[in-house]
Structure 1
């Protein structure tokens, strides 16, 4: 199988002449496999390689897909999934003139057949053949010649056949993106070739690529024939449910990017007029807080309905931005401003998203409307919706980078206002909002450090200086937010502390204050600093950090002592205990030594636990091996080393379990070692009698009572005599039993 696969891909189109017999043999094997597809994976792989090498037209000449008009039996329909995954570099004309008529024949048979099961199968086969459209749009060889005819067919699909909507949307994306990627220098031309890349067999054959000249011809053809097709897609988008709009929106964006901007603008204006967002003059309608019954009486949309319709319209506007000209950009921007200033509650996330796309795609617009954009955003009350905050901050990202690069005094004031909102959000109670602020700050830093930008290093240092300016503010909340911002910057770029030496002393100086919120943030900064800096660079700020954090080692509230301990442990691990001890002030050396000792005990205890674990494992394995040996001999050792034979001995009756007392043993040697076992004649149990060790002092009342002492001595003698009597009795019974056995023998 692997050899034939390699041969197809190596020989290429000539394999149709030399290897057609192998294709027929593989098809015969697939037909014999029937409905069982579990063992046909390698067959499908080889046939897929044949499709890549020969092309779908040659394959279908050798293995035709057909239907019998008399009994409605189908042949070779198993080839459809293989074609779907492997067709590349085919012809749009072949799809329209051969595949579409074949699918229609299956559809007609579906209407004629009487049995529902057969009819369902025929309809599935017809839809499978129509669904080959995206595959035939993988680098077709005749796009500039046949796209006009294909566009007419696609419009029919969009207006009639709902099952083809997703296939049409994906096919258009493939056509546009593959041609656009061929015009981009260094772009991976196979990036959008998702279907062809599913099979590893394509690694043997290079994925076809358009030349720059061919790609330009194809894009011109796509743009010239897209007016009616784009209108059909837009109409379908606004009339569809939300889940279908997702893939329709991407297709509209792709097609609009290669369509003339004036055509796209006319389509969008007609849509705004349809939903009464603009009047006949193209002016945006102002929202008036009147009774909605007036609109209902006149047959117009109510204010609430207009508000709801703005969301899909704004979503559509966001995908039209990429290929938009100046007029269309102005129209979209006016739509955004009207939505933000008109107190339209719904769709605010989409409004911010559309504005961020305009700022990203069209730098000229950002420069020409810069102050207006700043005033617009800062004049709005910040949203509480996380998605809206994310897109709002995306607008801030673009504007902030632009301001810092321009370096104008008036713009610096606006930049501080934007930075202020980001820093305040860093202290937000919601984790999602704080993460958005962190990400935005990191993106701004990354953009400013980009070497391709003008004055990249200077703009980046200016941003850090602006953040440090908040450290001298009066509000502890703003101070702690600024420290958190610097912590984010240091975590992503620790070298900033070396390039801007004032960063570390400025933050550590805040540790002399008393605001708890600021102290927490400053200790957090110190932890990030010592964690991110290499040991060599940490030596330069070691004395400042150690002397700055140690005064808070005496405060246990708010976990300050724990934070200081962690910071010292990190420094010790990187720079050594001697360096830390030398940098510590005299009054805190005792605490530093305690940290060293605890750190040493932790490491020692870990080693001890590891050693004990290994030892216990070894001991348990030895015990198991010994028990196995004794079991083989019919006995096993107990804990004291004695051996209990398996044969049951006649022993003393120990009584029922419910009569056992706390100091009564069951005879399994589990009692204390300082107890002797004697027989209780009443219960016939073994009673533990505690004995005193030699030299053990007795209580004062017993030492003064001579009679009591004598009674204890007599009791010991009686117990000793009872034990001897009991032992002799056992011996006598044993000898008598052995004598009886001998006499019997």
Structure 2
């Protein structure tokens, strides 16, 4: 403080004030309270002396210091006049002319009123002691400013009130709101907008009733109806809707009944907004109504009970709201039918269960509207009716709008058949008995009519009825989603479902889906699970028999998968004793010599599904039954036998875990002895078995893991993706096991890595697999590796870079890339020279083959270790080509700019070097700002408003209560069509030029794409991520890195081909056009197609072709077609377009 009083220059004062601003926040509150008088006096004197200064730095920081000082004062200090005097001094700066000072003061006032320490004590008041005087100051400033043209002070105060209104007491809030409503009558667009923002801030803060009582909230809502903007005035209408939405949401939290009383008027007013010509208003109106329904209506609609047209109170309000929205289906609102249907959908979702008596007529109107010709909103209408089905239930909906299908129709038009897919997708929580009583007879009648028509030879009519009965059966899974009467109705449906499974192959898919849905989503209580599980003795044998039936067609395969999934689901509600009985019979049939291979595989699939639910004695017998299958030479049987073990080892049930513990030694022996006899398809489940076995091992079993390491490492490059994933997972689990064995993590990991190092001395495939395994281990256990182990890994990998095998070098480069991301920078810095020397010693063939990987690797090294890389002389020699590539890339990116500048003869278009000094930089920025202002033209004044004239020749009545709707912030009749830009360019001859964004950006994104592809390869090799998502993105790129056959397509409409003037230079951005890869090995007359060409002329000159094309070689004029050569199948068209004569013989197909 002494320094601040002693300094003279404004810069020094600002620096000291800034330092004080930082320090005061950390000074204890008792110190600031004790020194308040002296400190505030010094601050106020500085504010008085600097108030008129052109520099704002000192003012803003002193204002911030003063706010911090006031915020630390206790409740007693605010009773002193000096404290309020200092506060009012700070308050006066909230309307300062300088924006930074004004914002600092407004922020300080808000922090004082919201975050003072006196508000958080035990005897804290509801509002700050200075809140009333603050509201009085704001009202006085607004009244003082009056209706001036600029209204600058009013805008500043309204900005302050936006944050302060939720902090004021109720009386002050009412006074301020009345002032806001009065100032909105001025018709000033910006003032009205800021006042709306203040109201929005008040309601969004959801203040307590001490600040905003429910009555005041309702009064503000009523008053705002006098300021409804015109529906054609875009921004004010959006603001009004947002304010009304927040006002009603706040009111429903204060007093629910009062809010419900005001909602019908808002819904009626909002429906008129749907007549607006602006699509933004339509979407905002629909969103407002949907939010009100979800926030104000849906949480309280259950308290209403059934709603009817004769209801009173809140139920009557709900009817009025729905009638207002239902009116939107009339032709008057035809342009807004899409948002109207969205609101109706929200209404059905919120109130359909209680309000369906008043909504049935609307459902009929919707169905009639759906049948009108060329109705454009069928999707939205289907979703709306679907919402009604989901909440009201299918019984209510079909009672209001019957299907009109009974199987005895004369005309086969079925106007309401569209309801069947809607019912299928939205039925939930319905009565299962309704399907039994209503839809089962209908399906039987439709099937009978289909059979009759088929017998009469009417195939088409029979197919229609057969399709309809299939659609009726497709409703069954929906009825099984959270049904309300499982215990009472399932027994009446079970026999029909069993018959359909065994006798109706066309119904197996919906029936199986229904059973699975019923078990997973319909059995919520123990009684329901018991009722469904009671019929397991009937359903499971049927499902077993269906699954065991052989079939070669794809339909049967899909049915078998569905049946097996249904078996798995039904076993979850089946008693264990019954499962054991089924397992015993399946084991007997598996051991029978009469069983075919298909039967044994099917039985093994069923055993895999049943094994986790059996008891321990049954599992022992099952294990001895399948043990011979583990050694069989039938790969399919062996794989499924291992799948049985996998399911048993992975099951969380007690009997399975007890079986694994009691037979752990034997399982280890069997799995280890089957190392050589295990077929490739069986490795995925076998590795999964080992994964679960390793989880239960102790330190005494370390020898078992040691014997497994070589096999697991080799499996990291198996053909099967699942085997690779399980191999990596098992590798990580073995590392975790060594950490459990101890004694210290680093020592345990060192022992485990020594086992993996042995693979580096094996075959080429073993070395490559070992490097992948080490990369994954580095990723998983980097925190447990000491500097010595990490350094040894890096040195070993650098030695392997000298291999002559590409697989080994590729794996080593992948390890180095992972090390760059995982290893500590300080540790890796010491090994950078060794790594770069090893990379630099690669042969020319290796460098050429892995040029993309090396380029990306060098880029990462330079970014991370720039100074270290520059110090390695050998690395500089190897970096040369890649630096050249980057320079060439920069040249390509700037080439279009240089070409455009050359055409325009504008030397200023080229990039200019910036000055080094601050003055030169500022001068450049000033020039750019002047140029920008010159291009944009004079700036339009803000806050413009327009008056909408009366209809015809009637004069505008300024005394009308609705005159506020005539003051528009949007210019009436203005059209943006003149400012719309063309989507496509036009060539000189009038043709459209269509450029693809992907083609234009391909060269810019090529480098990043290559690095993404390489990272995806590495992650896939490490078993961390699947590459399926990358395949679609890069499926047009060749997998071999040696092949590069890109040819640039330079076709431009109007500027190339037969329409172009010869000698015309390339178009701006021509270097960014698309590139295509020439096909390889498709030409029967030569090998020239497999070469990379720059133009189609090169394709012609390099291909030995028969007939007239061969005679025309050498004299062929400049080609008239500049598209890519796609192959010899289009050779005749190419020759004809190039003008080389007609071929004497047809082009080969």
TM-score, normalising length from structure 2? Answer: 0.44
Partner of 1:615: 898
Q: Distance in 2 between matches of 1:456 and 1:100?
A: 66
Q: 1:374 to 1:112 in 2, by over 3 A?
A: same
Q: 1:538 to 1:487 in 2, by over 3 A?
A: same
Question: Post-superposition shift, 1:526?
Answer: 6.2
Does the residue aligned with 1:77 lie in a helix, a strand or coil? coil
Q: 1:151 to 1:358 in 2, by over 3 A?
A: same
Question: Post-superposition shift, 1:167?
Answer: 1.0
Does the residue aligned with 1:76 lie in a helix, a strand or coil? coil
Question: Post-superposition shift, 1:521?
Answer: 4.6
Does the residue aligned with 2:428 lie in a helix, a strand or coil? coil
The 5 Å alignment of 1:61-100 reads 61-65=399-403, 66-67=405-406, 69=408, 71=410, 76-100=416-440
Q: Distance in 1 between matches of 2:518 and 2:724?
A: 38
1:99–1:129 Cα contact (<8 Å) kept: yes
| Alignment partner of 1:577 is 2:916 | no
Q: Distance in 2 between matches of 1:509 and 1:438?
A: 24
Partner of 1:347: 637
Q: Note the alpha carbon deviations across 1:629-682, whole angstroms, 9 max, x for none.
A: xxxxxxxx999xxxxxxxxxxxxxxxxxxxxxxxxxxxxxxxxxxxxxxxxxxx
The 5 Å alignment of 1:206-221 reads 214-221=524-531
Q: 1:366 to 1:525 in 2, by over 3 A?
A: farther
Q: Distance in 1 between matches of 2:834 and 2:901?
A: 49
Partner of 1:360: 650
| Alignment partner of 1:601 is 2:877 | no
Question: Post-superposition shift, 1:148?
Answer: 2.5
Q: 1:363 to 1:246 in 2, by over 3 A?
A: same
1:24–1:62 Cα contact (<8 Å) kept: yes
Q: Distance in 2 between matches of 1:269 and 1:638?
A: 86
| Alignment partner of 1:158 is 2:501 | yes
- Which shifted more, 379-388 or 361-370? 379-388
Does the residue aligned with 1:258 lie in a helix, a strand or coil? coil
Does the residue aligned with 2:639 lie in a helix, a strand or coil? helix
| Alignment partner of 1:104 is 2:444 | yes
1:157–1:164 Cα contact (<8 Å) kept: yes
The 5 Å alignment of 1:147-546 reads 147-178=490-521, 214-241=524-551, 243=557, 244-273=559-588, 275=589, 277-278=590-591, 301=594, 306-361=596-651, 362-380=656-674, 382=676, 386-403=680-697, 406-408=698-700, 411-426=701-716, 432=719, 438-444=724-730, 462=748, 465-471=751-757, 475-477=761-763, 481-490=769-778, 492-493=779-780, 495-496=782-783, 498=785, 501-509=788-796, 511=798, 516=803, 521=808, 524-525=811-812, 528-534=815-821, 537-546=824-833
1:565–1:595 Cα contact (<8 Å) kept: no
Question: Post-superposition shift, 1:97?
Answer: 1.5
Partner of 1:15: 355
Does the residue aligned with 2:719 lie in a helix, a strand or coil? helix
Q: Distance in 2 between matches of 1:511 and 1:482?
A: 14
Question: Post-superposition shift, 1:532?
Answer: 4.5
Question: Post-superposition shift, 1:118?
Answer: 3.1
Q: Distance in 1 between matches of 2:679 and 2:359?
A: 63
Q: 1:522 to 1:363 in 2, by over 3 A?
A: farther
Q: Note the alpha carbon deviations across 1:50-104, whole angstroms, 9 max, x for none.
A: 1112101111212223427474765633321111111000111111122112222
Q: Distance in 2 between matches of 1:474 and 1:15?
A: 75
Q: Distance in 2 between matches of 1:500 and 1:608?
A: 43
Q: Distance in 2 between matches of 1:554 and 1:123?
A: 74
2:642–2:686 Cα contact (<8 Å) kept: yes
Question: Post-superposition shift, 1:369?
Answer: 1.8
Does the residue aligned with 1:320 lie in a helix, a strand or coil? helix
Structure exhibiting the larger radius of gyration computed from Cα positions: 1
Q: Distance in 1 between matches of 2:407 and 2:517?
A: 35
Q: Note the alpha carbon deviations across 1:317-352, whole angstroms, 9 max, x for none.
A: 112234333244334433331312344444332222
Unaligned runs of 5+ in 1: 181-213, 279-284, 286-299, 629-636, 640-745
Question: Post-superposition shift, 1:22?
Answer: 0.5
2:497–2:511 Cα contact (<8 Å) kept: yes
Q: Note the alpha carbon deviations across 1:123-150, whole angstroms, 9 max, x for none.
A: 3222322221111101111123322332
Partner of 1:707: none
Does the residue aligned with 1:321 lie in a helix, a strand or coil? helix
Does the residue aligned with 2:696 lie in a helix, a strand or coil? helix
Unaligned runs of 5+ in 2: 1-340, 907-987, 990-1060, 1064-1149
Does the residue aligned with 1:316 lie in a helix, a strand or coil? helix
Q: Distance in 1 between matches of 2:424 and 2:1062?
A: 74
Q: Distance in 1 between matches of 2:560 and 2:667?
A: 30
2:832–2:868 Cα contact (<8 Å) kept: no
Q: 1:267 to 1:565 in 2, by over 3 A?
A: closer
- Which shifted more, 455-464 or 9-18? 455-464
2:699–2:741 Cα contact (<8 Å) kept: no
Does the residue aligned with 1:19 lie in a helix, a strand or coil? helix
Q: Distance in 2 between matches of 1:325 and 1:5?
A: 51
Aligned with residue 378 of structure 2, among 20, 32, 40: 40
- The CA RMSD measured in Å over matched residues stands at 4.1
Question: Post-superposition shift, 1:5?
Answer: 1.4
Does the residue aligned with 2:478 lie in a helix, a strand or coil? helix
2:690–2:730 Cα contact (<8 Å) kept: no
